[in-house]
Structure 1
Amino acid sequence: MQTSSLIELLPDFNALQADQIEAKVDQLLADSRQKLAQIVACDEPPSWQNLVEPMEQIEHGFESIWEPIGHLDAVRNADDWHAAYDACLQKVTEYHTEVGQNQALFARFEALAKSSAYATLNIAQKKVVDNALRDFRLSGIALAPAQQAEYKQISQRLSQLSSQFGNQVLKATQAWSKHITDAAELAGLPESAMGLLQQYAQQKQLDGWRVTLDFPSYLAVMTHADNRALREEVYRAFSTRASDQADNPELDNSANIDEIRQLRHQLALLLGFNNYAERSLATKMVESTDQVIGFLRDLARQAKPQAQQDLKNLREFAQTQLGLNDLQPWDITYVSDKLKQQRLSLSQEILKPYFPVEQTLSGLFTIVERLFGVQAVQVSGVSVWHDDVRFYELRDEQNQLVAGFYLDLYARENKRGGAWMDTVQTRWRHPNGDVQVPVAHLICNFTPPIGSKPACLTHDEVTTLFHEFGHGLHHMLTEMEHMDISGINGVPWDAVELPSQFMENFCWEREGLDLISGHVDSGEPLPDDLFESLKQSRHFQSAMMMVRQLEFSLFDFLLHAEYNPQAVEPVQAVIQRVRDEVAVIQPPSYNRFANSFSHIFAGGYAAGYFSYKWAEVLSADAFSLFEEQGILDVDTGRKFKNTILAAGGSVDPMVLFKAFRGREPDIAALLRHSGIAA
């Protein structure tokens, strides 16, 4: 496939208009239903060619028409667009539920699985058929008609609620800002942060500075502002977003959360599970709810004593060095930064000039080229949704096109917070024999360039970039050619974080840092003293960070595993119970963290947030082979690519892991990387 043909196949984002998308989606649904009718009406025995291939073509239609619409809702959100998107979302959900409950289609898949033709399929093809049968059961294929109608209704309502949840978080984030005209109020903020807040003010035709709840602004204030009252004000605004405690309670997500919990539980019961956590595990590596809870509690047991010691050290430092006798949640980041500077002569701000965006990207691409044999080449002339967005191709050592990706690095208005990888198109062999090249979206929310100065990244932002690129590599370097198991498709959710967390490790190693760092003024790589400090900082308060992640994971899991419709435990009570067990920092009573926890209420992590920790065991242990063989060892890199990345969702991740590592995963590497004594 030639370069030009890839560009021609990409979405024309500028041509998409809010008032036209409903007609586009209606046409897509009509065409899909017509094709589906032809597939089930076929009077020949079911085969790969007359059943799976035409189903994949329908899926391809959704990828090319529906995906860009959802993408723009996240990166260029506007009220008219979101309203049109929401109206279409209902119809799309209804269609997918219909497919999942189509008895004639299910019968053909079942017949294929039982036929002699199944035996002639390869491993990947068999996996596609097996997954399809599993998904039919999870869509309520075995239910009576009345229950199927209920399932359909619940599914539609859930997709509507999750869209509403995410939209209200975005709106609530944008609804709050603070205009400051006296620079003294922002004492302590570095020049780069002051420039950013000034830029935010200028965007609203204001003089002075404007503090917002966009993450670069929020983090700058929480880390650097000497003004404690300002830190508390910003913390309060951030931690009460989309809640009854916020200044604008009309964006309160509490009712959405209650209804989502109730409906998920109902859905799980309909399908014969005891709770939604069990339903969630039906598509994961982990075998039981007890296994998840045991895993999280065991990690908490190992990490909490050290986390308590971390906090004790922080309190003592705050008291003796900063005169803070009552350390509060809005002081933690600020005091931690000061303690890190004193102990390690290190802070995010000291490191930042060493990670100009262009140098970091260049280094990332060099690491990827060395390990996986693919080169990133920037391409112009591609339709994008904002001027900051870039497009790259990945080419192999023979200069053959392997994949493409969009890179959208900076935070801005009307863009959802956080960082993520999403699919533009999946690697797939068309029935005519052409192989579609995989393309990914890589989205971050970093501090944009200020004026004419190049953007520089904090080390945390560098690891975020590597994390998302790891997801991107999983999608782009697959060798699978069937939609449902290509790239991250069909990969159990608790294994999907393996490549992303694996890639983060290169940001801590000398060999990686020499490539990704170069001082913005001098080009000098990270000096030895800063490197040593950075290495030590990996363990700095790592136990405190570990128990915080475990708090989120346990809260999410217990919220779904222990839901009792006869006596619903309030969300705040669940999170308090978890905090009492694993947390070392207790936030104020007004904190409404759950109301903006988009991962589980507006993303795919419901009863699955534990996946980050579960996959971190795999990723740390996988990386330990590079520590043994050489951080940039080409053979180990190719082995990782050819086992973990190439197989997509075609093989059980534990089988792939053992093929790569030669044994079962061991938790020791994670505890070592985290500086937590086993």
Structure 2
Amino acid sequence: MNPLLQKFNTPPFSSIKETDYKPAIKEAIALAKADIEAITKNAEKPNFSNTIEALDAAGEKLGRITSIFFNLNSAETNKEIQTIAKEISPWLSEFKNDMMLNEALFDRVKNVYEQRNNLNLSTEQQMLLEKNYKSFSRNGANLAENKKAELREIDTELAKLSLQFGENVLAETNSFEMHLTNENDLDGLPDNAKEAAREIAKQRDKDGWIITLDYPSYIPFMTYAKNRDLRKKLSIAFGKKGFQNNEFNNEEIVLNIVKLRHKRANLLGYKSHAHFVLEERMAETPDKVFSFLHDLLEKAKPAAEEEFLKLETYAKKLDNIDKLQKWDSAFYAEKLKKELFNLDQEALKPYFKLENVIDGVFTVSEKLFGLQFEEINSIDVYHKDVKTYNVTDKDGQFVSYLYADFHPRSGKRNGAWMTSYKSQEIKNNVNERPQVSIVCNFTKPTASKPSLLTFNEVTTLFHEFGHALHGMLANTTYKSLSGTSVYWDFVELPSQVLENWCYEKEALELFAKHYETGETIPIEYIEKIKESASFNEGMQTLRQLSFGLLDMRWHTHEAPDTINNVKLFEKEAFATTQLYPDVEENCMSTAFSHIFQGGYSAGYYSYKWAEVLDADAFEYFQEKGIFNKEVADKFKTHVLSKGGTEKPMDLYKRFRGQEPKPEALLKRAGLLK
């Protein structure tokens, strides 16, 4: 019996074997095809219910099985899963194309779409109809047969390339280790980072200490290790992922992805991949995105250059360093920050024990949105580290299940993300509640200490939890409009806005308690956290803008087949934002997973775009009080629960009473003179 093909509520992780996936996905594709056929063979005239709603409900089994599979491919992968991913990705591309290029199906959708003005539809129904019609037209339904065949080939190839890209980055991350046997090489490193490095060495049956390219190992070394040569070695290793002369090189893959995306956009009648993508975003056009990025660049660059000069002068004064390099950045920034604000990140860590921070984000969510969280052991998990929670509202009604997976391991990609195993929807008059998951890579507990988070990790947890709230508080009729199914440049608003609570005394005092003494974080630390929040914000902004501009340059290029050198192209794209000398053996694009593996192509700007929204939204909370029920209810009602049922700007204005203004962001970042 294949557990994936049985009826299940939460994923039956422990009973799934790798060999179950392919037959289950094959069977689920057949079931989804039968759903589609039932719609196209329906003898009744096409209407909203028998076509659009039926389409939203189609392929449910396939959606659930693939969400389990691809989530595991990110969080708990192995060679077998990676091989299966390569085999099934073309099947899924083919199924999607079969559906999107199914003329009988599109005819029915088009028929309903053409009568939309006479159907008396709700706003949400209109949105669903428009989304369905557009997804057909944007996926080639209006193309001639030979062009449809070409589109299928492109999509199959893109699916393969993007998987390969991600596997190569993971392989490069896992294959590097810096094995140190002289304790002096760890000079400057905090004790817990040393202990973690020793534990990695032990796990690998080696003496001494091992530093890896996983963030909890990499970042402390780059921030605190005094040995400049070793920082350089580690930094270069990090920067050349996918850019080495080996089997994991991603240069050709990058060029092929960019060419194929451009070709696909042209085929569908768009000038570039960015024009295609942005049609379905708040930003609407590449011109608007470029003007948004350049406008911020103009305001941030003078501050960034000033900050860089200060840092360089400081490094010169301290250690006689003539030219500040990328591997000096975190090290001297941390020292300067400590000097300016008398704030030591290591001194903060004892106040941020992981369990306390989890309680903190739960308490903040309770005070704002009335949610209660209870840890449970009654649902299945895919790894012993995963925690599960039952989430209820203030009346004790079930809201969602939450999975949380906090620590790095070899089968898990770097970074942090939110995902879901089941979306919320109203089905047969029952409000089916979601199953949401957050995945992070935080410092592990050691033999002598619990998991103590850096302040950066604290904001990361709040960030991912903001996404989780968007998923958990969803309250829409249709699953394809539920939760985080919103325009990509709106999706970061809930996550980024929640980070603001990490800087507020009223919120920090709820959970920032010393793990040994229970003492609440001292008020002077809170003041310093707040004061230092805009430290080097010009440089940070420039860095984010450089990534956004690189992404846009790749995806607006009018003749990508003429690009033959990834590194050269990237250098030109970075020209206006560059502060540090270029490192010849490093390349950003070959490990830029957000745009070549994730869904951020022509969309990386949305982090900054959402920052404008989040700063403006949080200003409203500050005006009324950060736990003000009225503002929180408005945010929940008009943003968190509404998903993609309306245009984002309409939802935002309903919450805020006005369009967002960039001044709030510039003020918060200290970039308004």
TM-score relative to the length of structure 1: 0.96
Shift of 1:375: 1.2
Task: Give CA deviations for 1:577-609 in whole Å, capped at 9, x if unaligned.
Answer: 232212322331111111110000000000110
Corresponding position of 1:445: 441
Partner residue of 1:299 out of 296, 301, 312: 296
Tell me if structure 1 keeps the 8 A contact 2:466–2:498.
Answer: yes
Corresponding position of 1:328: 325
Taking the aligned partners of 1:302 and 1:371, their CA distance within structure 2 comes to 34
Tell me if structure 1 keeps the 8 A contact 2:90–2:156.
Answer: yes
Cα RMSD, aligned residues only = 1.5
SS of 1:406's partner is strand
Corresponding position of 1:584: 579
Task: Give CA deviations for 1:329-366 in whole Å, capped at 9, x if unaligned.
Answer: 10110011111111111132121111001111111111
Taking the aligned partners of 1:241 and 1:118, their CA distance within structure 2 comes to 55
Corresponding position of 1:256: 253
Partner residue of 2:665 out of 648, 661, 670: 670
SS of 2:291's partner is helix
Corresponding position of 2:4: none
Corresponding position of 1:570: 565
Taking the aligned partners of 1:200 and 1:52, their CA distance within structure 2 comes to 53
Task: Give CA deviations for 1:106-143 in whole Å, capped at 9, x if unaligned.
Answer: 11112222347962332111210110001101100111
Unmatched segments (≥5 aa) in structure 2 = 1-6
Q: Which moved more, 1:467-476 or 1:12-21?
A: 12-21
> 1:76-225 alignment to 2 at 5 Å?
76-115=76-115, 119-225=119-225
Shift of 1:398: 0.8
Corresponding position of 2:520: 525
Q: Structure 1 residues 11, 566: CA separation in 2 closer, same or farther (over 3 Å shift)?
A: closer
> 1:7-22 alignment to 2 at 5 Å?
9-22=9-22
Q: Structure 1 residues 505, 569: CA separation in 2 closer, same or farther (over 3 Å shift)?
A: farther
How many residues were matched structurally? 667
Tell me if structure 1 keeps the 8 A contact 2:271–2:558.
Answer: no
Shift of 1:274: 0.6
Q: Which moved more, 1:548-557 or 1:354-363?
A: 354-363
> 1:541-580 alignment to 2 at 5 Å?
541-565=536-560, 567-568=562-563, 570-580=565-575
Corresponding position of 2:239: 239
Identical amino acids, percent of aligned pairs: 36
SS of 2:58's partner is helix
Corresponding position of 1:410: 407
Tell me if structure 1 keeps the 8 A contact 2:563–2:569.
Answer: no
Tell me if structure 1 keeps the 8 A contact 2:390–2:400.
Answer: yes
Q: Which moved more, 1:646-655 or 1:49-58?
A: 49-58
Corresponding position of 1:3: none
Tell me if structure 2 keeps the 8 A contact 1:277–1:607.
Answer: yes
Corresponding position of 2:27: 27
Q: Structure 1 residues 61, 453: CA separation in 2 closer, same or farther (over 3 Å shift)?
A: same
Tell me if structure 2 keeps the 8 A contact 1:360–1:515.
Answer: no
AA paired with 1:343?
A: L
AA paired with 2:320?
A: G
> 1:422-501 alignment to 2 at 5 Å?
422-430=419-427, 432-489=428-485, 491-501=486-496
Shift of 1:394: 1.6
Tell me if structure 1 keeps the 8 A contact 2:32–2:60.
Answer: no
1:398 corresponds to 2:395: yes
AA paired with 1:234?
A: L
Q: Which moved more, 1:255-264 or 1:103-112?
A: 103-112
Shift of 1:381: 2.2
1:657 corresponds to 2:656: no
Tell me if structure 2 keeps the 8 A contact 1:112–1:118.
Answer: no
Corresponding position of 1:45: 45
AA paired with 2:518?
A: G
AA paired with 1:549?
A: Q
Q: Structure 1 residues 236, 141: CA separation in 2 closer, same or farther (over 3 Å shift)?
A: same
Task: Give CA deviations for 1:476-506 in whole Å, capped at 9, x if unaligned.
Answer: 11110201111111x1111111111111111
Shift of 1:475: 1.3
Taking the aligned partners of 1:654 and 1:59, their CA distance within structure 2 comes to 31
1:596 corresponds to 2:591: yes
Shift of 1:37: 1.1
AA paired with 1:588?
A: V
Taking the aligned partners of 2:289 and 2:117, their CA distance within structure 1 comes to 38
Tell me if structure 2 keeps the 8 A contact 1:486–1:649.
Answer: yes
Shift of 1:308: 0.6
SS of 1:644's partner is helix
AA paired with 1:545?
A: Q
Q: Structure 1 residues 142, 309: CA separation in 2 closer, same or farther (over 3 Å shift)?
A: same
Tell me if structure 2 keeps the 8 A contact 1:314–1:339.
Answer: yes
Corresponding position of 1:389: 386
AA paired with 1:213?
A: L
Q: Structure 1 residues 116, 614: CA separation in 2 closer, same or farther (over 3 Å shift)?
A: closer
AA paired with 1:350?
A: A
Tell me if structure 1 keeps the 8 A contact 2:255–2:564.
Answer: no
Taking the aligned partners of 2:397 and 2:597, their CA distance within structure 1 comes to 38
Tell me if structure 1 keeps the 8 A contact 2:425–2:475.
Answer: no
Q: Structure 1 residues 118, 43: CA separation in 2 closer, same or farther (over 3 Å shift)?
A: farther
Shift of 1:207: 2.1
Partner residue of 2:501 out of 502, 506, 521: 506
Unmatched segments (≥5 aa) in structure 1 = 1-6
> 1:265-414 alignment to 2 at 5 Å?
265-414=262-411
SS of 1:526's partner is coil
Taking the aligned partners of 1:325 and 1:561, their CA distance within structure 2 comes to 38
Corresponding position of 1:621: 616
Tell me if structure 1 keeps the 8 A contact 2:259–2:561.
Answer: no
AA paired with 1:328?
A: Q
Task: Give CA deviations for 1:137-172 in whole Å, capped at 9, x if unaligned.
Answer: 110011100000010110111011111101110111
Taking the aligned partners of 1:205 and 1:405, their CA distance within structure 2 comes to 36
Tell me if structure 2 keeps the 8 A contact 1:304–1:584.
Answer: no
Corresponding position of 2:70: 70
